Chains A and B, each alone.
Chain A
């Protein structure tokens, strides 16, 4: 079955700097890669996702890149702000096969003002 690894487990950056979180997946058939943000005491919420037919996707200060050959994808947050502090989860699934989503273990991001 699918296995998703995520690094680093914790990340601290100064406000205004960039943050990068990396994930790898094991199942080459996976074709959908969402990222969720979970603020302290709140529910996880989707912030961006990418399909396997796209190499990069941007939404304001966040972007996700996908390397299908290497089976890894990354979340990039630029100009970080204190409100970006949260736990971020990457995930992978095969939408066509209606496969369950497998989550990575999460990255706790702290943005220091």
Chain B
């Protein structure tokens, strides 16, 4: 079912704690992405990676960090510096940057 897996589906954290969202793909895609989805605001790009050991900031990177040590994995850390972290986070991958994106099922993060 798409070959891209996000875990967990729901995540709760206390304010001030860092939290890491997992994203794994077995599609052999070079490019991976993290999007944040808020009601009425569409899909906003947080970070993306064109290839292993490379990543670049998207439009709303502040308060987030990523790593791309393996082709299959692109974890996102939501740090305590992110002012409003409660949101729905979507990971995606594509053969190369700019082509059809395959999305994971998303992680809904709630910070209390």
Contact = CB atoms under 8 A, between A and B. Distances in A.
Interface of A: 6, 9, 32, 34, 36, 42-46, 49, 89, 93-95, 97-106
Interface residues of B, number: 22
Given A43-B103, A43-B105, A100 B98 contact: yes
Top 8 closest A-B pairs, CB basis? Answer: A105-B42, A93-B98, A43-B103, A98-B97, A103-B43, A106-B42, A95-B98, A44-B103
Give the residue among A36, A89, A100, A105 with the most B Cβ atoms within 10 A: A100
Given A89-B42, A89-B43, A100-B58, A43 B104 contact: yes
Contact of B50 (A45, A98, A103): A98
Main secondary structure of the interface of B (DSSP, over half): loop
B96 interface: yes
Main secondary structure of the interface of A (DSSP, over half): loop
B53 interface: no
